[in-house]
Amino acid sequence: MILDKINEAKDLKTLQNEEMKILADEIRKLIIKKVNETGGHMGPNLGIVETTIALHKVFNSPVDKIVFDVSHQCYPHKILTGRKEGFTDPSKYNVYTGYTAPEESEHDIFKIGHTSTSTSLAVGLAKARDLKNEKGNIIALIGDGSLSGGEAFEGLDCAADLNSNIIIIVNDNDMSIAENSGGLYKNLKLLRETNGKSELNFFKSLGFDYYYVNEGNCIEKLIETFEKVKDINHPTVVHVKTLKGCGLKEAEENKETFHWIMPHALDNFYNPPIVEQENYTNITTDYILREAKKDKTIVAITPATPGVSGFNKKFREALKNQYVDTGITEQHAVAFASGLAKNGAKPILAVMSSFIQRTYDQLSQDLCLNNSPATILVYWGGLTNADATHLTCFDIPLMMNIPNLVYLAPTNKEEYLAMLDWSVKQNKYSTAIRIPNIELISTGIEDKTDYSILNKYKKEQEGSEVAILGLGNFLPLAYKTAYQIEKTLNIKPTIINPRFITGLDKELLEELKKTHKIIITLEDGILSGGFGEKIASFYGPSNIKVLNYGGKKEFTDRIPLNKIYKDCRLDETLITEDIIQALNLTAIN
């Protein structure tokens, strides 16, 4: 194998063109095998193999610095920069992260997993280089999809003004995760169709020097162009047309499916396991499809992540103009929803918890300050074993401290559907719902609660001495803890399902004082700034004790969930121990 000779990036320097082509094939095979085994980003990595080889052939990383936007296309880079064992040796498949990680290699400048940041980060690197009077190329490699994000535009606009070396490589595979949306993509298409020669040129209009590479999976062509722009003294865009999924027929033909895959998705592609079970995702899409037929102003919106919310092709085709993919534009998506709601439509915006982080000011100013009655569905919220870049444990503190927002935490199917229906049909509040991130629980009993009466908690079990507030995903833990307490202490605790994240049920909390000594709060997210602290503050002046349970304020990085739970004492036995200590009790069992 040619790869045997490549232990660090500089080993590429001596390779001939033919060897590099073979190397590309070798890398491609490794990626297909490994990603099919572990899951991960397939299409983006297969498309960028040649670009990565050419980059390391022409430039001198880490003196020349490459910033990988969203960094889900960094596998070839990892293979070429001393980490190939993570792809050749199955026992080491999980040693390296799926994103750039400075702790792994000096060739990775940043830990990145959210899109559209590379241009700004690169401008910073370039400006520092200039202030230090140093040399070297600063390169941002950004996909066409990521260009729709506002931060990418801010960075591009500033990059164009830099008056020194910065090279933006636009990896144009004509896809975001799904199809691109936005006017910019018509210009990219025009540029592809004119071999980069059209006079209407988005990048040139911003002031960039511009190069186009039509054969972006051809190493020689890429090298030829990279040689031209190396050490260039002004802001330059290299627009490279690549094929997403290149080299894997299934991925080339099903770009969205193979953007990111679960383990063995390739093996199972022609015989996919059939999932007919109800889950929170498909009951949501069913609800939207049904209601959208009745009310033509209902619009389902995704900021370029339709897979997160199950907005699949069938769903999109059924909704027609009642479905909008805004591109990677979380900020716009929230303001867009506000505009829709203000003009009498019923927007339902689906966003993954990690990406709602991009919208604080839009939630606050564009939406909640205007009390626009949009519905935001927050997916995957909770503590997680995910990469540090994709944690989903910050949405509660992010959102619950914004005035006017009603953020709901359902705990079962019927409750969720009742909340969703209320939220979509009311026109008074900006609302958000944290879709349960646990297996679907159905009570079988319709929830007839009037959610327009805000901040009314539900007493699930009447007890005394101890009250447990189990928010959303953690109501089951509240039940388990109550059982453990009863078994251990012969105390039957009160169990409460708060339902409303954004407000206190002061009446109920006040009432609890009479017959309870200690309040336990459980939330599936970081404690810092969240729900439990407000309960502690409420009881601060009283004699009631409060124990808050939730995640720590930290960027965990692929830590198993069990370990996180144990570290945070999110466990019925540990909580019971804490109660025993706080109340100075003795266990009976």
The footprint of a second copy on residues 122-151 (CB under 8 A) is 122-132, 148-151
Distances 313 to 171, 256, 285, 323, 418 between C-alpha atoms, Å: 25, 10, 12, 11, 26
Of 24, 158, 168, 229, the one binding a second copy (CB under 8 A) is 158
511: Cα within 13 Å, side-chain hemisphere:
11
Q: What are phi and psi of 209, to 5 degrees?
A: -70, 150
Instruction: Pick out residues in 463-492 that bind a second copy (CB under 8 A).
Output: none
Pick between residue 27 and residue 125 the one whose CB is nearest to a second copy: 125
Q: Are 140 and 69 in contact, with CB atoms under 8 Å apart?
A: yes
Residue closer to a second copy (CB basis): 36 or 354: 354
Instruction: Determine the Cα–Cα distance for residues 44 and 363; give it in Å rounded to an integer.
Output: 31
By the rule CB under 8 A, 209 interacts with a second copy: no
What is the footprint of a second copy within residues 356-415 (CB under 8 A)? 357-358, 360-362, 364-366, 368-370, 388-389, 394, 397-398, 400-404
The count of residues interacting with a second copy (CB under 8 A) is 123
153 binds a second copy (CB under 8 A): yes
- Binders in 270-299 for a second copy, by CB under 8 A: 296-297, 299
Q: For residues 420 and 533, what is the distance between their CA atoms, to the nearest angstrom? A: 27
Considering the complex, what minimum distance in angstroms separates the CB of residue 252 from a second copy?
A: 26
- When the beta carbons of 323 and 422 are compared against a second copy, the nearer one is 323
Hey, what are 79's tokens? 């293979």
- Per CB under 8 A, does 416 bind a second copy? no
Q: 10 Å Cβ neighbour count for 200?
A: 11
Sheet strand arrangement including 431-434: 323-325, 298-302, 346-352, 375-379, 431-434, 406-408
Angle at 500 between CA 496 and CA 503, to 5 degrees: 105
Work out whether 178 is an interface residue with a second copy (CB under 8 A).
no
- In the region spanning residues 36 to 75, those forming contacts with a second copy, defined by CB under 8 A, are 65, 67
Considering only residues 527 through 586, tell me which ones interact with a second copy, judged by CB under 8 A: 527-530, 532-534, 536-537, 539-543, 545-548, 553-555, 578, 581-582
Least Å distance between CB 387 and a second copy?
10
Rounded to the nearest whole angstrom, what is the least distance from the CB of residue 183 to a second copy in the complex?
3
With respect to a second copy, which residue has the nearer C-beta, 99 or 315? 99
As a whole number of angstroms, the distance between CA 151 and CA 140 comes to: 13
The vertex-409 CA angle with 406 and 415, nearest 5°, equals 105
CA distance 82 to 101: 13
Distance CA 454, CA 452 (A): 6
- Nearer to a second copy among residue 13 and residue 558 (C-beta): 558
C-beta of 28 vs 241, nearer to a second copy: 241
SS3 state at 377: strand
CA distance 248 to 241: 17
Of 233 and 277, CB closest to a second copy: 233
List, in sequence order, the alpha helices (H) in 490-570: 506-515, 531-539, 561-567
- Cβ closer to a second copy: 35 or 570? 570
Residue nearer to a second copy on the CB measure, 442 or 537: 537
Closest CB to a second copy among residues 91, 321 = 321
549: three-class secondary structure by DSSP: strand
Q: Where does this chain touch a second copy (CB under 8 A) — which range of 277-285, 323-331, 419-427, 476-484?
A: 323-331
User: CA–CA separation, 272 vs 403, rounded Å?
Assistant: 45
How many CB atoms lie under 10 A from the CB of residue 458?
A: 17
Least distance (Å) from a second copy to the CB of residue 371? 9
Which positions from 91 through 110 interact with a second copy, judged by CB under 8 A?
102, 109-110
Stretch that binds a second copy, among 168-176, 273-281, 353-361, 482-490 (CB under 8 A): 353-361
Cis peptide upstream of residue 62 (ω within 30 degrees of 0): yes
- Of 131 and 588, nearer to a second copy (C-beta) is 131
Q: What's the closest the beta carbon of residue 25 comes to a second copy, in angstroms?
A: 34
Examine residue 329 and tell whether it contacts a second copy (CB under 8 A): yes
Residues 217-236 that bind a second copy (CB under 8 A): 235
Report the interhelical angle of 280-294 vs 413-425 (nearest 10°): 30
